[in-house]
Chains A and B, each alone.
Chain A
């Protein structure tokens, strides 16, 4: 089980657990038996609905019970009590707080929001605040980021607007809080091509210069973390970026990055006596680009870097050998 510590069960501990479990099991089995019987019989009433709440509180992974709950809501939709949807949304929020990684809860929340009445724009704007909160508790929550993109899309459709600027600012904020937040770097790399294509970057040259400074600062902040390096690899090869540079500017940007990588690596060698593998990896990529895209003459440096990588990062040696033989 993900993240559950293994315990040594002595006879006494096991006896205690069994006697605790016996009560829980008989309660749970009786409850689920009732719920599934109602479902099988196609019973549609509020008692059945309450039964689903009871079961899902104990086990939010019970997808068949979520399904039954949705069928009940659909069938009872013409007679929903006051504030029904508000309560339904608090129910999923409370459940998500306890189980932030259960797909079924996220799905049910999304389904509920699609279905509940209210102005589309404000409904989803409100929801975006909820996502902010979830991502402030766990800035890498995979479901949270996915859900965020879905909610943003809803707002954009409802209001015929683009939230790219706002979302770029959000991603920047998350990166500034923690440079290793790859979810935010991913978001950034997703947004920029769209923003360039839609003319949403005001001063493109200025932006590219700032972005280069930004990633160089990030390199120096945590040179061990791969998030930044994967982003840099994208930045120096992605056409929405490179097509906006003259050949000279492209070359200068690569030189600037290479100098920084060399400087970081020198520090590392002084400190630990070893190369920083990420600096070497990016230097290999820069050498390859210079040869393939900028027509620079090949020098010995690329193979030398790869040899050093074999020494410093032996677990991935076969990849470096592959690159050497390319």
Chain B
């Protein structure tokens, strides 16, 4: 295996074996990310054209077991608590398997209500009843509602107003108004605007500034960082590239440099991708490294929708807002 090739079969093996690591302490310490992990793994497999690697029925049963019937949201694991982030993961997995109908209509309605009930007066969303506000939750809420076909003007208009206030002078977005720009927020804010068909709210001067800030995330090693003067990290291959793709400025970064950085982060023997060369791999960096490569059209990967971080073959079935 050469270091300038994508180790596809190893990555498939790595993802397949994720649930066989029960002898590792880390497996148990990450239970609070299990549902997200399943979404990351499944989406990575989809890009590798290996969706059938996971046992569909088993996964759907697991997702169902994370449904919290008292709130209507999904938790990361049975007996954990529902949260907007894990709710999106649950919905994404079901949608990827074309299995949203395993939720009954009343259950779906309850999920919709759960998401909407976490919207605050200023249009922002809290992650759960304890009140943490973050643009990440605006994204997860709008994406979830979109997949469920349940967006409404009452939800979208104030949500968009809040997201627009997260825009900063440098062309980046912060986690709330006034917060420093962070590349992950470029994805959540621009992705959310794209999902509700409101990218047109950004002026062309803003779009140019956003493109500039995002392309300046690329450092000499070819990788992308999340903020000025920070080290590159594979996950920004997704946060930065998806946003650039949505504003149609993907080519403002150097594809070959980024590809070679991502490939250097592979464990070519055991599979998986890490944050930086020589570090321990994990499924989070594996999906976002692959997703970056997919957006750039490399390595024959299945194409991914930059707004939803799901294969186009899945998202093309979603009802597009405004309905």
Contacts and interface: CB of A to CB of B under 8 A. Distances in A.
A1 B275 contact: yes
A62 B80 CA distance: 9
Interface stretch (B9-17, B159-167, B251-259): B251-259
B181 interface: yes
B323 interface: no
Interface stretch (A78-86, A242-250, A294-302, A312-320): A312-320
Contact of A25 (B28, B131, B181, B218): B28
B206 interface: no
Chain A's interface: helix, strand, loop or mixed, by majority? Answer: helix
A189 B275 CA distance: 31
B79 A39 contact: yes
Interface string A165-185: 000000000000000111100
A88 B290 CA distance: 42
Nearest to A2: B275
Interface stretch (A223-231, A251-259, A267-275): A223-231
B169 A238 contact: yes
Interface in A114-144: 140, 142
B215 interface: yes
B309 to A, nearest CB: 19
A230 B209 CA distance: 11
A182 B228 contact: yes
A21 B26 CA distance: 9
Contacts of B182: 142
Contacts of B279: 1-6
A102 to B, nearest CB: 11
Interface string B119-130: 000000000101
Q: Please classify how large the interface on chain A is, using the bins under 10, 10 to 19, 20 to 34, 35 or more.
A: 35 or more
Interface in A2-26: 2-7, 17-18, 20-22, 24-25
Interface residues of B, number: 57
B228 A225 contact: yes
Contacts of A32: 28, 31
B180 A316 contact: no
Interface string B45-71: 000000000000000000000000000
B257 A1 contact: no
A64 interface: yes
Interface in B193-227: 211-213, 215-216, 218, 222, 227
B281 A6 contact: yes
Contact of A145 (B83, B180, B212, B278): B180
Nearest to A21: B25
B168 A186 contact: yes
A64 B218 contact: no
A4 B79 contact: no
B25 A316 contact: no
A63 B175 contact: no
Interface centre among B25, B131, B168, B282 (most CB of A within 10 A): B25
A315 B81 contact: no
Interface string A61-76: 1111001001000000
Interface in B64-107: 75-76, 79-81, 83
A302 to B, nearest CB: 15
A111 B280 contact: no
Contacts of B267: 6
A64 B81 contact: yes
A105 B227 CA distance: 23
B274 interface: yes
A18 B23 contact: yes
B20 interface: no
Given A6-B267, A6-B274, A28-B29, A315 B257 contact: yes
Contacts of A322: 249, 252
A5 B131 contact: no
A41 B75 CA distance: 17
The 10 closest A-B pairs by CB, nearest first: A315-B254, A64-B80, A4-B280, A182-B228, A21-B25, A64-B81, A318-B251, A186-B180, A180-B229, A36-B79
Given A5-B280, A182-B228, 14 more contacts: A6-B278, A6-B280, A20-B25, A28-B25, A29-B28, A59-B29, A62-B32, A70-B130, A103-B132, A145-B179, A190-B178, A226-B216, A230-B228, A315-B253
7 contacts: A1-B279, A58-B29, A61-B32, A186-B168, A190-B178, A226-B216, A230-B213
